[in-house]
Amino acid sequence: MYQIIVNADDFGRHKLINEAVKRALESGCLRSATVMPGGIAFEEAVEIARTHADLGLGIHFTLVNGNPILPPEEIPSLVAENGRFYDDYGLFVKRYAQGKVNMEEVRSELTAQLSKLEATGVPLTHFDSHQHIHSLPGITEITIDLACTAGIKAMRVPATGLFLNGGLGHDRIGSVIGRAGLRFMATIARQKAKARGLFTTEHFAGNVAGRAVNMEDFSAIIKKLRPGTTEIMMHPGTDNGILQSDCRWEHDFEAELASVCISPADELLRNVRIANFRDICSTRA
């Protein structure tokens, strides 16, 4: 069986991302999203999830490039002088490697993020993290602990391929090396998750240190599906000009929105089952 979970990351980060998720859910193949508890459009995202029963909602744990839930003075090792998380993923990882990230502060902040989402009463189907921070040793264990306590049954494993569609000619060598490191950590995280009884997909695809998944890329992913379930990570949005400025990320949000707005009845998806993490957990229980 060929099954896909198309997941929209950064739900709640911006109203134009929320708008894209709603559009792709109602007229496309999107059935899953992970919400940022510190996002400025969090409440609206939760309301969209509450009124769309076919959306599987997860938590997008955030320690980089976003807003914390706890006061900055309670998590000094995690925030910059402006009280926000460090915007630079590389800087966070460097500080983490140097032992400058307090893991108890990480646990406290991620607990607060999960508590904020649990308080909405919307059932949670899975978890992942902004820029795959949950794949880092130590943080993996914290997120798994929190998920198991909350009854969340599935975790993203971003074991991405080394190359985007088209091969090395379309990639920078640094991006390939970065994906190799992420794949290694994600594979270990998968073992830890399974040992705790969490579900994971067999395969993963999407934009990791590379360009947006446009329609050509999306079609290539579908045509190369392997048996089992593939999570396809997407970051759809409705206005590149506004989102690239507000999110400080030169990403083609509109291209990814066009990709996920493909109808489930489209010929490309004829032999593919479209699902969310709630579906895979129920079928494997």
Output the six-digit token pair for 124.
């949670």
- pLDDT band at 166; cut points 50, 70, 90: very low
Domain ranges, residue 95: 2-284
Of 161-165, 175-179, 208-212, 263-267, which one has max mean pLDDT? 263-267
pLDDT at 198: 97
C-alpha closest to that of 3 among 253, 201, 247: 201
For residue range 209-252, what is the model confidence (pLDDT) as tens digits?
Answer: 557 999 999 999 999 999 999 999 999 999 999 999 999 999 99
The CATH number of residue 233's host domain is: 3.20.20.370
The pTM (predicted TM-score) of the whole model is: 0.94
C-alpha 110: how far from its chain's center?
15
Number of domains in the chain: 1
- pLDDT band at 162; cut points 50, 70, 90: low
Give 56: exposed, middle or buried? Use CB within 10 Å, 0-12, 13-18, 19+.
Answer: buried
Output the six-digit token pair for 229.
């379930």
Give 138: exposed, middle or buried? Use CB within 10 Å, 0-12, 13-18, 19+.
Answer: exposed
Place of tokens 């990639």: 171
C-alpha closest to that of 244 among 260, 233, 255, 232: 255
Output the six-digit token pair for 114.
């999960």
Output the six-digit token pair for 158.
């971003």
For residue range 182-200, what is the model confidence (pLDDT) as tens digits?
Answer: 889 999 999 999 999 999 9
**In sequence order, which residues have a C-beta less than 8 Å from that of residue 42 and are 6 or more positions away?**
12, 35, 36, 116
Residue 233's beta-bridge partner residues? Answer: 7, 206
Output the six-digit token pair for 219.
């079609």
pLDDT at 160: 77
pLDDT at 167: 39
CA–CA distances in Å: residue 111 to residues 142, 146, 230 = 9, 7, 28
For residue range 71-127, what is the model confidence (pLDDT) as tens digits?
Answer: 999 999 999 999 999 998 999 999 999 999 999 999 999 999 999 999 999 999 999
Q: Cα–Cα distance between 229 and 247 in angstroms, integer?
A: 30
CA–CA distances in Å: residue 168 to residues 88, 233, 252 = 25, 21, 21
pLDDT at 180: 79
